[in-house]
Amino acid sequence: MVGGRGFGARLLRLYLPLAFFLVAMLFPFYWMLITSIKPNRELYNARIMPLIVHEPTLKHYVDLLTQTNFLTWTYNTMLVAVVTTAVSLVLGAMIGYPLARMRFPGAAVVAIGVAATYLVPQPLLFIPMADIINRLELGNTLTAVMLTYPTLLIPFCAWLLMGYFKSVPRELEEAARIDGASRVQAMTRVVLPLCTPGLLSAGIFAFTLAQNEFLYALIFLTKSDVRTVPVGAITELIRGDVFYWGQLMAAALLGSVPVAIIYSFFVEHYVAGLTAGAVKS
């Protein structure tokens, strides 16, 4: 780097825009945090400088945990996310594997069908789905959302995993086959272990998508004790025209923490999953 001019250029090209992006992207989370620990007299006083907390309190968190079903919602959200992720990963891998490595009649049709189901947005399906769930008498059960979330996640997992499955050299599989491994063994003992990064990527990505689900949960889950965090927060912490802002922010923050923690452990895998669709592997 050359002296002053170099720093000036770097300031303009790197530090200033970087600071701008960081502030713009992270401010809402900062806002969530400090709002959640402000006492009401600060929250609803327009004359107080709002950017910092003067007398922090955990009252909203206590209220959220004791006066609402927040813990139940969290449990429901986690349960649904884990089950749907597992189901989607298994079924997605079972679709992706033959599509990536086998030659069989009908492969092209299935491949296009899977791509199409991935891209058909849920808004086209929610009204007929509401009627179907009603007729199956699954309203207000977590089964309803566990059946519907994978509609998006299975095609996604299949699509993502296909890229990884394709990348395993055929010779490895053939060597195992010559040694007497069956097709199933070649898959479970040779190909799948080599695709662990792909399985992780798909799993993490599917998990965050499942946590983000809202529309189906909003429609199917109308009783408090079966709700997920997003639906519970938006329907029960806003009553009529009354917004419980402190509790809303506490719920938003606590609801985001599990996703953020899991994400922070697997950032690389998440990013790989995110970019796999766009960048050829």
Partner 1 sequence: MSVRPAPLARPAPVAGRPLSLRGLLEREGAFSWIMLAPGVLFLLAFVAYPFFYGIYLSLQDRPVARAGAFVGLANFATLLGEGVFWQVTRNTFVYTLVTTVLKLLGGLAMALVINQSFRARNLVRAALLLPFIVPTILSTIAWMWIFDPTFSVINWALVKTGLVSTGFSWLGNATLAMVSIIVVNTWRGIPFYGITLLAGLQTISPDLYEAAAIDGASATQRFWHVTLPIIKPILVIVTMFSVIFTFADFQIVYALTHGGPANATQVFVTYAFDLGMSGGQLGMGAAAALTLLPALALVIVVLALYLRRE
Query: Using CB under 8 A, which of the segments 27-35, 64-72, 167-175, 189-197 binds partner 1?
Result: 27-35
Closest CA to 30 of 51, 57, 61, 9: 51
Side-chain-side CA neighbours of 34 within 13 Å: the count stands at: 14
Find the shortest distance in angstroms from Cβ 4 to partner 1: 18
Q: Cα separation of 204 and 260, whole Å?
A: 11
To the nearest 10°, report the CA torsion of 165, 170, 175, 176. Answer: 20
Q: Say if CB 198 and CB 100 are below 8 A apart.
A: no
Tokens of 32: 């969530």
Q: Which of 142, 145, 192, 248 lies at the binding interface for partner 1 (CB under 8 A)?
A: 248
Closest CA to 220 of 132, 88, 155, 153: 132
Tokens of 164: 């990884």
| 3-class state of residue 141 by DSSP | coil
Q: Which of 58, 71, 112, 172 lies at the binding interface for partner 1 (CB under 8 A)?
A: 112
Asked if 167 interacts with partner 1 (CB under 8 A), we say no
Q: Which residues pair with 242 in a beta bridge?
A: 239
Asked if 75 interacts with partner 1 (CB under 8 A), we say no
Q: Which of 2, 3, 55, 106 lies at the binding interface for partner 1 (CB under 8 A)?
A: 106
- Residue 91 exposed, middle or buried by CB count within 10 Å (0-12, 13-18, 19+): middle
Asked if 50 interacts with partner 1 (CB under 8 A), we say yes
Q: Say if CB 20 and CB 14 are below 8 A apart.
A: no
Asked if 221 interacts with partner 1 (CB under 8 A), we say no
Binding track, positions 140-159, relative to partner 1; x by CB under 8 A:
-------xx-xx--xx--x-
Asked if 265 interacts with partner 1 (CB under 8 A), we say no
Span 178-207, contacts to partner 1 by CB under 8 A = 182-184
Query: Using CB under 8 A, which of the segments 60-68, 168-176, 193-201, 253-261 binds partner 1?
Result: 253-261
Query: Using CB under 8 A, which of the segments 65-73, 90-98, 137-145, 193-201 binds partner 1?
Result: 90-98
Asked if 107 interacts with partner 1 (CB under 8 A), we say yes
Query: Using CB under 8 A, which of the segments 66-74, 167-175, 195-203, 242-250 binds partner 1?
Result: 242-250
Asked if 2 interacts with partner 1 (CB under 8 A), we say no
Asked if 1 interacts with partner 1 (CB under 8 A), we say no
Q: Which of 121, 170, 171, 180 lies at the binding interface for partner 1 (CB under 8 A)?
A: 121
Asked if 136 interacts with partner 1 (CB under 8 A), we say no
Other Cβ atoms closer than 10 A to 233: 24
